[in-house]
Amino acid sequence: RQLHQRGHDIVVLASEASMYIKEGTFYTLKRYPVPFRREDIEGAFLKLGHGVFENEPLLQRVVKTYKKVKKDSALLFSACSHLLHNKELMASLVESSFDAVLTDPLLPCGPIVALYLALPAVFFLNSLPCGLDFQGTQCPSPPSYVPRALSLNSDHMTFLPRVKNMLIFLSESFLCNVVYSPYGALASEVLQKDVTVQDLMGSASVWLLRTDFV
């Protein structure tokens, strides 16, 4: 709204299955087709929420979480792939000569679009999993000293908390590789050069973090 009031023209990109992005008076909404329905996304989120309250053995929960993450991330990745391979829409974005891309890099489709359009990217986010924000900003976050999210560790860890921290770090890396590795290959295909997920996360000109990082 502030950008619109200052005289800027804003275009919002959203898939046809988007749950919350609607038409607005202060921006132009462009939708693109995806191979799934809004109900599929809504069902995935509801199942994720219900799963938090299920009381299952740890190993069973880990396996179940892995399967769900793999399934849901494939669904969201397909949306990004359909956007980037929509030649008509991408051509119209190139012709529009935008000034910047504002995006949440939780799923790094926006950064790929920004690189494709050769535009500065502004990352507007709450947080990123697996320390991807630290990687993108090249900020050190050694697991021996920096407690991982939800570990309940303090910044003064003895040996056992550090072991716990490292195990969480390794499990995060495994799960995040499942979710994020396809985006590196997709970006490399679209941009016609080798691109890693860390390259995508490090492509922002400005990071706007709406979280308490203390």
Concatenating the DSSP letter of every residue in 61-129 gives HHHHHHHHHHHHHHHHHHHHHHHHT-HHHHHHHHHH--S-EEE-TTSTHHHHHHHHTT--EEEEES--G
Flag whether 173 is in a domain.
no
pLDDT band at 214 (very low <50, low <70, confident <90, very high): low
pTM assigned to the model: 0.88
For 115, the domain range is 1-135+183-209
Residues forming beta bridges with residue 123, ordered by sequence position: 103, 207
Number of domains in the chain: 1
Flag whether 105 is in a domain.
yes
Res 36: pLDDT: 92
Distance CA 153, CA 161 (A): 6
Flag whether 146 is in a domain.
no
Flag whether 150 is in a domain.
no
The pLDDT of residue 150 is above 80: no
End-to-end CA distance of the chain: 29
Query: Per-residue pLDDT tens for 1-11?
Result: 999 999 999 99
Flag whether 24 is in a domain.
yes
Flag whether 9 is in a domain.
yes
CB 194 within 8 Å of CB 91: no
Q: What is the mean pLDDT of the chain?
A: 91
Flag whether 130 is in a domain.
yes
Flag whether 178 is in a domain.
no
Q: In the chain, what percentage of residues exceed pLDDT 70?
A: 98
Query: Per-residue pLDDT tens for 159-204?
Result: 999 999 998 888 888 888 889 999 999 999 999 999 999 999 999 9
